[in-house]
Chain A
C-alpha cells in the first residue's frame, strides 16, 4: 500500500504533470503568444514609456517625466477634442443601442421578409469602413452632385454646405455611426431575444400583463447582458472614431475640419504624432484615452451587475 504523498512532492510533480498533459496545447499556442507579445505587449509597453518622453520619431527619446500629461491638461485643442468626443459617444451609443433594440424587436422572426431586413441592416457592418466613409462623402457632397443636396433641391431647398457647417458636424458623425453600427447591435439583440423562454411570456399573458409590461419586466431585464455588451463595445468603438473624421471632414491643413468641429481624440492623437512629430505626446493622449475607456467600461459593468442584483 502506498503511503501518503508528501506535499512538497506533489508541488514538484504538478507542473510536470501539467506539462505532460497540456504540453502539446501550449506548444501550439506559442506562435500566437509570440505574435501577441511582439505586436501588442511590447508596443504597448513601449508606448507607455514614450508617453513619458519627448520622442519626435527620429531622434532618441528624451525622458521628460509627466511633462506630456501636464501639457495635455492645459491643451485647449485636446479639451475641445475631448468635449466633441464625449458628445459624440453619448449620442451615438444611446441612439445606436435604442435603434438596435428597436430593429431586433421589429425583425426577430424566422420569416423571409425578416431575414432579408436583418441582412440589409447588417450589411454596413461587414463593409469596409473606408468604402462607407467615401460613400458618405459623396452623399454629403456640397453641390447638386451629392445625394443629400439632390434631395434638398427636389424639396425646393437650396444647397446645404453639410461639411462646412460646424453645427451639423456632430449630428452627421452620429448619423454615420448609428447607420453603420445598428445592424451589428440588432443581430446581438435578436440572439438575446431568441434565448428568452417563451413560457415567461405565456405566464405573463395568463396573469394579464400588457405588451408593455411584458417588454418592461421580462424582455428588458433578460436582455441586460446583451445591452451591457452592446453599450461597452459601442463605447469603445465610439471613443476611437477616426475614419469618419479623417476621410469625410479633414481639411487641407486641419484634421478636425471647419473650426475643429469634427476634432476627436484619436484624429488629434494621429495629427500630433504623425504630422507634428510629437510621438511622445501622442502616446500620452493614447494612454489618457485608454484610461477613460477603461474606467467607463468598468462603471458600465458595475452598473449592469448592480442592476442585476436589484
Chain B
C-alpha cells in the first residue's frame, strides 16, 4: 500500500482536471473586484508588493489586490496545481522563465494584448528579452532584478598588500596567489551559481561566448566557451575555489577573502554578521577578455489565463513600473531591511534599497548584464549542461569534451 503513495505524488494534484481548458469568461472590469497575487519569495517581499497593491487600490477603489507568499521551494508545484485546476491566482510572480513555461501551455495571458509593450523601453533590454517567449509572446515582464557582485574582505586584502579588488581575470588569479602567500587559507569562493550553469554564465559571456546564437542555435562548442570553462575549472582545480557551496555571508564570516554572491546578501551583512562591519566591500565581477558581463536574474510577473480580471491584472502589472509603485516598494523594503532592485535600470541608484555606493556597483553590473537564455529547449537542457560543467570541474572530463556533450544535449532539445 505504501508504494501507492508514490503514484499519488504524480496523480493527486493532476487528477482533478484532465478535461482540458475552457476560455475564461471575463467579468465586468469596472465592478468591485478582488485580485489574488501569488508572490514567490518571502513574507517581507510580499509585504513590500502589498504596499504597491494598496497604492493601486487608492487609485482604483473598485480593485483590491491581495498579495500572498509562495516560498521558492514549492512555488512551482503549487502554480502547476493551480494551472491544472484553473483555480489559482489572477497574478503570479516567479522565476524569469516560469511565465514562459506556463504561457507556452496556455496558462498565461499574452500581455501584448493589453499594451504591455509600452514597458519595453523602461526595462533592462537583456532581462526583457529573457522574459519574451521564442514566438514573441509576452507572458510575463520583469518584476525586479537580481545580479552578482564580488564581495571582499578589506582587512584580508590589506593584510596581503592588495589595495584594490581585481578588475580582470588575470588580476583575480594574481590576487588569489598573493592572498595565499600572505597566509589567507580561503582566498576565493563562489556562492550563487557554484558548480552550476549560472556560475559559468559570467565567464562565458566575459570571454565573448554565449549559450545560444541570436537565432537560438546552441553555441557552446566555440573557442570562447572553451576558454571560459578552462579558466573557471582552473579557479577550482588550480586556485582552490571550494566545490561545496557556502552562503556568501557565511563564507566572508569564516575568512574567505573574495566571494562571488548575489545582491541580496549586501543588505543584511552588517546586521547578520556584526563582526564583519567595516571589514567588507564590494565590486563588479572581474572582466574577461571580451569585457565585463554579469548574470541578471530576477522575478517575472504575469496574469493567468483563467483570471476573470485579465485586463485589470495587466493594468496592475504596468502599474508596477510606475515611479510611485517603485517608490512604495522600495520604501517598505528599506523599512524591512531587505534587498530590492527595481526592474527599471534608471531607478537602480535612487529606487533600490542599497547605499549609493552599493547601488552603483549593481547598476554597473546590470548595465552590461545578460539574462538566462529564453531559447526553446533551454529549460530541458539546463541540468544536463550543469552536469557536464561539473564533470569538467571534478576532473572527470576535459573542458572541450564537456562542452561538446552539453552542446549535443542543447541541440537535441532545441528540436
Measured CB to CB, the nearest residue on chain A to B84 is A57
B391 at the interface (CB under 8 A from A): yes
CA distance A164 to B189 in the complex (A): 14
| B244/A161 in contact, CB under 8 A | yes
CA distance A46 to B391 in the complex (A): 40
Q: With A145-B250, A233-B2, A293-B3 in contact, is A266–B18 under 8 Å at CB?
A: no
> Residues of B contacting A42 with CB < 8 Å?
15
B214 at the interface (CB under 8 A from A): no
> Residues of A contacting B382 with CB < 8 Å?
253-254
| B18/A50 in contact, CB under 8 A | yes
CA distance A42 to B391 in the complex (A): 43
Question: In A148-167, which residues have CB < 8 Å from any B CB?
Answer: 159, 161-166
B271 at the interface (CB under 8 A from A): no
A43 at the interface (CB under 8 A from B): yes
> Residues of B contacting A55 with CB < 8 Å?
14, 18
Q: Mark A179-206, 1 if CB is under 8 A from B, else 0.
A: 0000000000000000000000000000
Question: In B1-16, which residues have CB < 8 Å from any A CB?
Answer: 2-12, 14-15
Q: With A43-B11, A290-B6 in contact, is A58–B107 under 8 Å at CB?
A: yes
Q: Mark A281-298, 1 if CB is under 8 A from B, else 0.
A: 011011101100110000
> Residues of B contacting A47 with CB < 8 Å?
7-8, 10-11, 14-15
| A50/B250 in contact, CB under 8 A | no
A225 at the interface (CB under 8 A from B): no
> Residues of A contacting B245 with CB < 8 Å?
142, 164
| B396/A142 in contact, CB under 8 A | no
Cβ-defined partner of B244 (8 Å) among A57, A144, A162, A294: A162
Q: With A59-B21, A253-B197, A276-B380 in contact, is A159–B242 under 8 Å at CB?
A: yes
> Residues of A contacting B106 with CB < 8 Å?
58-59
| B7/A56 in contact, CB under 8 A | no
> Residues of A contacting B77 with CB < 8 Å?
274
Q: How far is the CB of B376 from chain A (nearest CB, A)?
A: 14
| B386/A286 in contact, CB under 8 A | no
CA distance A124 to B406 in the complex (A): 42
> Residues of A contacting B197 with CB < 8 Å?
253
Measured CB to CB, the nearest residue on chain B to A282 is B10
> Residues of B contacting A254 with CB < 8 Å?
196, 382-383, 386-387
| B394/A166 in contact, CB under 8 A | yes
B390 at the interface (CB under 8 A from A): yes
> Residues of A contacting B243 with CB < 8 Å?
161, 164-165, 258
Name A's interface SS.
helix
Q: With A43-B12, A46-B11, A274-B80 in contact, is A269–B6 under 8 Å at CB?
A: yes
B59 at the interface (CB under 8 A from A): no
Cβ-defined partner of A258 (8 Å) among B6, B9, B195, B242: B195
Q: How far is the CB of B247 from chain A (nearest CB, A)?
A: 9
Q: With A44-B11, A258-B390, A259-B390 in contact, is A240–B20 under 8 Å at CB?
A: no
Q: With A142-B246, A258-B390, A259-B391 in contact, is A276–B379 under 8 Å at CB?
A: yes
Cβ-defined partner of A59 (8 Å) among B15, B20, B192: B20
A279 at the interface (CB under 8 A from B): yes
| B8/A289 in contact, CB under 8 A | no
CA distance A289 to B10 in the complex (A): 12
> Residues of B contacting A287 with CB < 8 Å?
7
| A40/B8 in contact, CB under 8 A | yes
Q: Mark B372-407, 1 if CB is under 8 A from A, else 0.
A: 000000011011001100110010100000000000
Cβ-defined partner of A56 (8 Å) among B8, B105, B195: B105
Measured CB to CB, the nearest residue on chain A to B11 is A47
Chain B, interface residues (CB within 8 Å), range:
35 or more
Measured CB to CB, the nearest residue on chain B to A247 is B73
Q: With A57-B83, A162-B244 in contact, is A143–B250 under 8 Å at CB?
A: yes
| B21/A58 in contact, CB under 8 A | yes
Q: Mark A33-50, 1 if CB is under 8 A from B, else 0.
A: 000000110111011001
A304 at the interface (CB under 8 A from B): no
| A58/B105 in contact, CB under 8 A | yes
Q: How far is the CB of A168 from chain B (nearest CB, A)?
A: 11
Q: How far is the CB of B325 from chain A (nearest CB, A)?
A: 29
| Most chain B beta-carbon contacts within 10 A, residue among A44, A47, A165, A285 | A47
Q: How far is the CB of A259 from chain B (nearest CB, A)?
A: 5
Q: How far is the CB of A261 from chain B (nearest CB, A)?
A: 10
Q: How far is the CB of A41 from chain B (nearest CB, A)?
A: 9
| B15/A46 in contact, CB under 8 A | yes
> Residues of B contacting A43 with CB < 8 Å?
7-8, 11-12, 15
Q: How far is the CB of A61 from chain B (nearest CB, A)?
A: 5
Q: Mark B78-109, 1 if CB is under 8 A from A, else 0.
A: 00100110000000000000000110011100
| A58/B15 in contact, CB under 8 A | no
| B5/A251 in contact, CB under 8 A | no
| A50/B387 in contact, CB under 8 A | no
A270 at the interface (CB under 8 A from B): yes
Give the interface of B toward A (CB within 8 A): 2-12, 14-15, 18-21, 76-77, 80, 83-84, 101-102, 105-107, 192-193, 195-198, 242-246, 250-251, 254, 379-380, 382-383, 386-387, 390-391, 394, 396
Report, nearest first, the 3 A-B pairs whose CB atoms are least far apart.
Answer: A142-B244, A161-B244, A47-B11
Contact sample, A vs B, 15 pairs, CB 8 Å cutoff: A50-B10, A59-B20, A143-B244, A145-B250, A161-B242, A162-B244, A252-B193, A252-B196, A253-B197, A254-B382, A269-B9, A273-B14, A274-B77, A277-B105, A290-B3
- Told that A61-B18, A142-B245 touch, could you supply 18 new A-B pairs with CB distance under 8 A? A39-B12, A43-B7, A43-B11, A46-B18, A55-B14, A58-B106, A59-B21, A144-B254, A145-B254, A251-B386, A252-B196, A254-B382, A259-B390, A270-B9, A273-B9, A275-B76, A276-B379, A286-B6
